[in-house]
Structure 1
């Protein structure tokens, strides 16, 4: 008990000690375009074939003929025969009604298919003619062969006319079984002994037949009873049975005597394990290699919250699985139902073929000791790849021989969000060559089938069947792009000057899968990937006419999602005070006499640098700017902005292209037609842009929709409003001056009215004045002055002058002289 508690604490601590995961970014991405039934359509640069029908749904069980020309599909209430021999279309040949959801679809022999469906929670099986798709009249019992629930996972495989299945045998799903059916002659149908809990609430994933071993291997996940945790701990398992097993004579009658299971441990050292298996596929050994070199690649997720949303791929070798099954086994205490490991005398070897003739004592031993003590570790005790951004659900694997005659492993991984990732495994790690969007919304059930002879991948979803070519070499138009893709399927042919599929007929192809060195691999090809600024020569480019003080934004398409954009100017450093480098790789600045001129955008990937676009920014030739008709009111105008982008257009075979310097220009009133560049000047640049602009995806598509069809891409050519600004400023100054003058006049007027007597009002003192005083008053009333101001006869003689009240003679008023 203490050991289990310590293990639980260790697992919890490993979640905090897990190292950072390297971000895996697909090099190119192809979003799904508008697709129709049976059309060869899809995203630009990636042509897909899709089959769908309004009366067919849940096409999730796929069976491919040996020659790869016919695809049989198990759907809801129907079985379909699709002709996939044509390159450009998927054609429906036959369709037959079949009970409910089809969950088992296997070739019984060369003429018939064995199919099982849920039949409204009452499973039924039938025989179908593979040529005419006609069914047998009498169905078979489907219990133990097909699940009751259409959304419950199961596994089925037919070998030598016998059906080996992993499913549940009751309505509630509480009786899991691994069984054999359709046995004939001396062989009998077998199933598991369920008295000791050989299976603990399993979820069956897949099954695989190894001919040299004569064994069937089942892969599933279940509750690990050997771990005494508070919560149920899920473990991934591999189990094996021998095809020669016929059950015991007395003990284990009609039960497996060769059943054994072991834990698949997808875990790197000092990291938290990925304990829940999602899918697994086998990779046969190369020609002449033993069967022990068979590899199994599986997708694993984790039930721990610290690894939520992450997926890992682990690979296991058959020889390691066999070694674990031939080792020690755990001992089950039948009283406490607890597992323990102790040294015990081996009465028999569990999992060994031929035990049906063993003694009852030996059979009782293998009945109680079926769980291997050791776990199957991944190759190199490390993860093949791990992704924190994508949750994978299905995979298929293929070995591809490259132009250098070396074999590379290519994984096709299906994400829950609807993308197919094509990934090559290198010594430096996994490299995602491309991602292709298969369907819009996440699907509850999917299946993935690979046709190596035809080079096609088939994806079954609830929306229909999608066919995806494994190779997409024609998308890469230049040798550097073909090499930088690091696709084992593709290589550059210097004779035809095209990226072609690598095969025995094509020799001396330019290819570098391990390093992606475009300079070395394309040494025989003349590369003009870099335009330089000479002292007396400026490169050709897209002409961009702007007005001064406009905000200019020059956009640069990325060669791939792994490339980085770099901007350059002739003999000028792009100062951060004047230029703004945006996250999408574009360059923004204000048009001034200093910032006019040539701009070159470079894309760098894996040490290779190429020119993506060249711009020549010049001032508009017409100096006349429009002025507003009314100067009244207060108006605000947006800051004029000019954007220059590389416009997408049709490329032969891909749906993309970029043209530099040859776009049409719009002519405005009183503005000269801007010159365009000759094709000779832009030929080198155009070939560099070509179809290597592999990232014109949903993001660039949104930017493209901002422009009108058929119009130039120099947007927002607004006139300069400097003249209007000056006029408004002068008017504002004049208004303020007039307002201040009026205010001063009013203040002075009020000051006079407070201190002066009313005009024309005689006083009593004037009547009493002597003749001498009256004469003096009359002599001074015309020219009395105070602080330089003239007072007339109608005004009072007493004034406030320099802060003092005085009379006409300099004395206080009414004071005798």
Structure 2
């Protein structure tokens, strides 16, 4: 770590203690915005399933399967213990695997057609599956060798995905011990799978899958989203690209060619590129489908979460792809000749008729093709050799956030329109709410869910609430509806969702989802500041200090804001924030102007969003800490000394509090049927969150202040 980073860390830690009286620590989950939470008493919880026929929430963890009430996250049944035996664990370690990997990590939970819950686990590098009776919550293991092959990875760290279509299971997963072979399989019913010798995939990382229903007469589709090596490029270094693949639900394989293999498998590249900066985001981390107009599958959009493939760069981008664009590429795109291994090399062979990779529809039935079994061998042979299309599905990011790593994304529909409310989980255990209206992304809330730093690995929407899962805990928070926006400023940001601030009720209420073009929702907030006329903030500074000036821009546009400042060159822009090294020539007026990408309901001209006046502090007058990140070497050393004294006292206080809290928790756990986990809302522990000194996108009162 550099001296500068160490100095900044020491300074921030001292201010953190002074402003909050605590540092981030491990506690029970607090009551967040009227929600509930539960510490699970298990480790490595990773799979979450809501049974649509009941109020039961199933959760898979290491060696355990839990059933909880969705409404309050209390236990519905005692947990099922399904652990690998000591003999199997020793055998796993004898094959060179780490001890931590030689447990049974639950990787799959899906509801089958008969109502049973299908469950699979890595089982000490020997995947196993079984069935859970939802009434008695008992597990019956599936008999046979290698029953979990292709359904659950041997290595619990390898990504995979699964989805059910009318109770039939489809999976995409590594399928061998070494994790070098991969399979996309219909695991139940009339089995169809991918023949590894065909080499349709190149070291893929599956992140998501989805069923999309079609209009009557056409076959439903299963879509898989993943990142893989681009074998079409003849380069010395590996290039990772994002793909979307598709198979047909009614695909039963061919009669001679591709027997019990997919005849409809096609894949295309997804491109997430900022057109203004030219930057590509190439590593897909999650994807979520949203049908914007209920009952209309053609209105489906896929909201995808990307990051950069360059190590050390913390950046997250959201791109959205319409089903119409993806369907067009699959229906009309050219076929790439994989044998020639050339860039943008289309196939020199003529494309046979019917078009390879088609799903059976009314047009094909009229020609006598009632199933994939009836397709000619020449068509199937062409499909076997040409799985990749030359056309790409392109999109520009709706939002780009640097310094934030998003791990999961979901989306909810707003008033049956193209607007959406995104729920984004971070690697720091936070839930962010972002409204999408047209091309405008607006940050509404940043909610800390846990006081321990662990990533969000599941987000599930249920009856106006969002259930958020992390490796050791669950949270259920209300995030839908205007009522959750407790301040006028945040309500104004949600104007695109149909929210307006009621001055009489002092509450955010639902109104028309279309804001009048000339109306500025911030005018009703009584702050004296219009959207484009912020109050000038006077900052008194000292020579040699470094100040970070935030640009109060609520919209998460990929475009950085533009600063106007004195001619002194001691400035550096960090996306929308400006870093200023104080000198005689850097004093003066600073202003930030931002314009959102795409249509903007309040005008398309760049808007003045923040103004500052930097004034040199009179040395005869005691200075004060101004907004911005103040870095002074002398103050840093003094701060570090103070930090040692303060943290010592704080540590003793926190230690005693935690002893009392843990004693209370143990008493509580014993009182609740001896199940070893809290079935209700946890007792209140200390709420201690990191207090960021740099002004964030979240208004005061929408993060730690509203946590009980």
TM-score grouping bracket, smaller chain normalisation: 0.5 to 0.7
Q: How big is each residue's C-alpha offset from its partner over 1:226-254, in whole Å with a ceiling of 9 and x where there is no partner? A: 11222100010001111111111111111
CA distance in 2, matches of 1:433, 1:400: 15
Q: How big is each residue's C-alpha offset from its partner over 1:18-49, in whole Å with a ceiling of 9 and x where there is no partner? A: xxxxxxxxxxxx99998865x6524xxx3442
| Helix, strand or coil at the partner of 1:218 | strand
Tell me if 1:320 matches 2:325: yes
Instruction: Choose from 388, 392, 403 the match for 2:402.
Output: 388
**Bigger RCO (CA 8 Å, 6+ sep):** 2
Tell me if 1:105 matches 2:100: no
Q: How big is each residue's C-alpha offset from its partner over 1:333-370, in whole Å with a ceiling of 9 and x where there is no partner? A: 64879882244311142220244312222211111011
Instruction: Choose from 45, 49, 64 the match for 1:63.
Output: 49
- Give 2:569's aligned residue: none
Deviation at 1:101, TM superposition (A): 1.2
Is the contact between residue 144 and residue 167 of structure 1 (CA under 8 Å) also seen in structure 2? yes
Deviation at 1:494, TM superposition (A): 5.5
CA distance in 1, matches of 2:496, 2:67: 32
Instruction: Choose from 332, 337, 359 the match for 2:376.
Output: 359
TM-score (structure 1 length as normaliser)? 0.56
- Give 2:36's aligned residue: 49
Structure 2: gaps (5+ residues): 1-19, 84-103, 361-371, 530-549, 555-607, 630-697
| Helix, strand or coil at the partner of 1:41 | coil
| Helix, strand or coil at the partner of 1:483 | helix
Tell me if 1:236 matches 2:242: yes
Structure 1: gaps (5+ residues): 1-29, 503-507, 531-557, 569-573, 587-691, 702-817
| Helix, strand or coil at the partner of 1:195 | helix
- Give 2:433's aligned residue: 422
Deviation at 1:331, TM superposition (A): 4.1
CA distance in 2, matches of 1:491, 1:69: 33
Deviation at 1:583, TM superposition (A): 2.5
Larger mean Cα displacement after TM superposition, 251-260 or 328-337: 328-337
Instruction: Choose from 339, 344, 351 the match for 1:346.
Output: 351
Q: After superposition, where does 1:646-725 map in structure 2 within 5 Å?
A: 694-695=700-701
| Helix, strand or coil at the partner of 1:136 | strand
1:437–1:341 CA distance, 2 compared to 1 (3 A): same
Is the contact between residue 487 and residue 508 of structure 2 (CA under 8 Å) also seen in structure 1? no
Is the contact between residue 316 and residue 406 of structure 2 (CA under 8 Å) also seen in structure 1? yes
Deviation at 1:76, TM superposition (A): 1.3
- Give 1:482's aligned residue: 491
- Give 1:437's aligned residue: 448
**Two-structure CA RMSD over aligned residues (Å):** 4.0
Q: After superposition, where does 1:435-584 map in structure 2 within 5 Å?
A: 435-440=446-451, 442-443=453-454, 446-451=457-462, 454-471=463-480, 479=488, 482-484=491-493, 486=495, 488=497, 490-493=499-502, 497-500=505-508, 502=510, 517-518=520-521, 582-584=625-627
CA distance in 2, matches of 1:192, 1:126: 23
1:450–1:693 CA distance, 2 compared to 1 (3 A): closer
CA distance in 2, matches of 1:476, 1:364: 57
Deviation at 1:429, TM superposition (A): 2.7
| Helix, strand or coil at the partner of 2:382 | helix
- Give 1:776's aligned residue: none
Q: After superposition, where does 1:9-20 map in structure 2 within 5 Å?
A: none
Larger mean Cα displacement after TM superposition, 63-72 or 333-342: 333-342
Q: After superposition, where does 1:248-259 map in structure 2 within 5 Å?
A: 248-259=254-265
CA distance in 2, matches of 1:66, 1:143: 27
CA distance in 2, matches of 1:250, 1:416: 48
| Helix, strand or coil at the partner of 1:325 | helix
1:498–1:109 CA distance, 2 compared to 1 (3 A): farther
| Helix, strand or coil at the partner of 1:431 | strand
Deviation at 1:509, TM superposition (A): 8.0
Tell me if 1:282 matches 2:289: yes
The structure number with the bigger radius of gyration is: 1
Deviation at 1:581, TM superposition (A): 7.5
Instruction: Choose from 398, 411, 422 the match for 2:422.
Output: 411
1:77–1:575 CA distance, 2 compared to 1 (3 A): closer
Q: How big is each residue's C-alpha offset from its partner over 1:682-715, in whole Å with a ceiling of 9 and x where there is no partner? A: xxxxxxxxxx9825977999xxxxxxxxxxxxxx
1:467–1:68 CA distance, 2 compared to 1 (3 A): farther
CA distance in 2, matches of 1:295, 1:113: 29
CA distance in 1, matches of 2:50, 2:274: 36
Deviation at 1:311, TM superposition (A): 1.5
| Helix, strand or coil at the partner of 1:266 | strand
- Give 1:225's aligned residue: 231
Is the contact between residue 421 and residue 436 of structure 1 (CA under 8 Å) also seen in structure 2? yes
Tell me if 1:165 matches 2:168: no
Is the contact between residue 426 and residue 514 of structure 1 (CA under 8 Å) also seen in structure 2? no
| Helix, strand or coil at the partner of 2:63 | strand
CA distance in 2, matches of 1:515, 1:441: 44
1:111–1:372 CA distance, 2 compared to 1 (3 A): same
CA distance in 1, matches of 2:178, 2:295: 47
CA distance in 1, matches of 2:516, 2:48: 32
Is the contact between residue 433 and residue 486 of structure 1 (CA under 8 Å) also seen in structure 2? no
Deviation at 1:476, TM superposition (A): 5.5
CA distance in 1, matches of 2:244, 2:466: 26
CA distance in 2, matches of 1:510, 1:254: 50
Instruction: Choose from 78, 83, 93 the match for 2:64.
Output: 78
Q: After superposition, where does 1:594-613 map in structure 2 within 5 Å?
A: none
Larger mean Cα displacement after TM superposition, 295-304 or 321-330: 321-330
CA distance in 2, matches of 1:339, 1:149: 35
Tell me if 1:205 matches 2:207: yes
Is the contact between residue 273 and residue 279 of structure 2 (CA under 8 Å) also seen in structure 1? yes
Deviation at 1:389, TM superposition (A): 2.5
Deviation at 1:294, TM superposition (A): 0.9
| Helix, strand or coil at the partner of 2:411 | strand
- Give 1:377's aligned residue: 394
| Helix, strand or coil at the partner of 2:421 | strand
Deviation at 1:439, TM superposition (A): 3.4
| Helix, strand or coil at the partner of 1:439 | coil
Is the contact between residue 412 and residue 421 of structure 1 (CA under 8 Å) also seen in structure 2? yes
Is the contact between residue 483 and residue 511 of structure 1 (CA under 8 Å) also seen in structure 2? no
Tell me if 1:397 matches 2:408: no
CA distance in 2, matches of 1:332, 1:324: 16
Deviation at 1:194, TM superposition (A): 2.3
| Helix, strand or coil at the partner of 1:482 | helix
CA distance in 1, matches of 2:513, 2:506: 10
What is the aligned length?
506
CA distance in 1, matches of 2:508, 2:459: 26
- Give 1:269's aligned residue: 275
Is the contact between residue 428 and residue 455 of structure 2 (CA under 8 Å) also seen in structure 1? no
| Helix, strand or coil at the partner of 1:459 | strand
1:192–1:481 CA distance, 2 compared to 1 (3 A): closer
| Helix, strand or coil at the partner of 1:71 | strand
Deviation at 1:273, TM superposition (A): 1.5
